[in-house]
Amino acid sequence: MADIGKVNNVAAGSIASVSSVAAANIGKIGNTDLPAGGASLWVVAAEDGGIATAAAADLDDWTGYDATGLGNSDHITLAVGEDGSGGPRWVVGTDDGNHELRYSDDPTDGQDWTSVNIAGDVYGVAWGNGVWISVGQAGELHRSTDGASWTRIDLSSGDQNVAGWVNTVIIWDVVTDGAGNWMCCQGANIFHSTDDGANWSRLIQLDDAGGLNIGAGFTATSMAYTASRWSVYLWARSPNRTLVCHAAAASPSSWAICTVGGSAPSGQALVGKLARRMAGGGGTVIITYANAISRSTDAGQDWTFTTSTLPRTDARDVATDGQGNWVIVHDSGRISINTSDGAPGSWVEQSGGQVLFPSSTENIEAVAMNVPLPV
């Protein structure tokens, strides 16, 4: 039985007590395990259909396999949530033209994956408040209440016809506060839903004079939500610039530009413009690229950029359990671990060597743990 993620929308790792019983002394709620201090299982998804799992108690010991019946298409993104009946469900997004989404109730079982055919490669997937949302190629946004049956939501026509939405532009990421509010990014636009992803509107155009007027040419590629704050990472080619914009949950229409070391960002003040992912938990947010990280400990408002802090280059994804434990995945089956809330100088490579899938190494594209976001 998989561990429970939340109780009444409170992450398991944040539960202090239930009916005056300390969380440390609670073994189960119903028949479901309550993990001590957050996650108990971590999962990574790789190219060529690779999946690997490790117990949170031993992130140096990963068991990899090639998910059966799924072909050799590359996994791109990964998230955990529920199956519609309260049971655990994992969903990966892929670049496969016939198996764009895949789901499993037990990622430790290589026979358990089922494919779903929707339109377009999937670059972001998330779960919250009983709803799954996937986003990706050519403006594709799909919604599900169980992670198995998905419905496309067309935001370019019909009743919604959302201003700024473009059906030929990639949606790179999607996040939720776990309480019915969602955001996704396309170009320099942030789109918002307040009804569990059923209806959407453009919240702000960050490069517009009516928004933050950050200048033209920016693309938002990753988002995070933690400590009641939304954040989004953007980059521009000419001139080369990287920055983060953020907004408080209480004022989601009021965005501000981050600072770096207390000053306004200039040029590539954050990690490289090809950064793939950011993640947030426990009030800390991290963006990673190559062997560098940018880190904020105030939910995305002020940042510190540290280069050459990871034991490996080619970082592809980052995740945290919100309890100070962070994992970054790399090319060639490499994994970096940090148990000091992502602090620079505290990253180590997992000592078990390269992860095998099952007898070869693959580039690892995504990582998640078994407590649904946000944490």
Give the pLDDT confidence of 8-18 residue by residue, as tens digits: 544 454 444 44
311 upstream amide cis, omega within 30 of 0: no
pLDDT reported for residue 19: 42
CATH architecture of 44-369: 7 Propeller (2.130)
Amino acid at 321: D
- The DSSP annotation for 63-110 comes to EEEEPTTSTTPPEEEEEEEE-SSS-EEEEEEES-SS-SEEEES-TT-T
Write the burial class of residue 72 (CB in 10 Å: 0-12 exposed, 13-18 middle, 19+ buried).
exposed
Grouping H, G, I as helix, E, B as strand and the rest as coil, residue 133 is: strand
pLDDT reported for residue 253: 94
pLDDT reported for residue 7: 52
The pLDDT tens digits of the residues spanning 19-61 come to 433 343 344 444 444 444 589 999 999 999 999 999 999 999 9
CA distances from 24 to 9, 16, 72, 267, 305 (A): 19, 8, 42, 47, 36
The pLDDT tens digits of the residues spanning 97-123 come to 788 999 999 999 988 899 999 989 999
Evaluate if pTM is beyond 0.75: yes
The pLDDT tens digits of the residues spanning 342-362 come to 999 999 999 998 999 987 899
Q: Tokens 């002020």 — which residue?
A: 302
Can you give the pLDDT of all 375 residues of the chain as single tens digits? 344 444 554 445 444 444 433 343 344 444 444 444 589 999 999 999 999 999 999 999 999 999 866 666 899 999 999 999 999 999 999 988 788 999 999 999 988 899 999 989 999 999 999 999 999 999 999 999 999 999 999 998 767 889 999 999 999 999 999 999 999 999 999 999 999 999 999 999 998 777 888 888 899 999 999 999 999 999 998 778 999 999 999 999 999 999 999 999 989 899 988 887 999 999 999 999 999 999 999 999 999 999 999 999 999 999 999 999 999 999 999 999 999 999 999 999 999 989 999 878 999 999 999 999 999
Q: What does pLDDT average to over the chain?
A: 89
Domain definitions of the chain by residue range: 1-38, 44-369
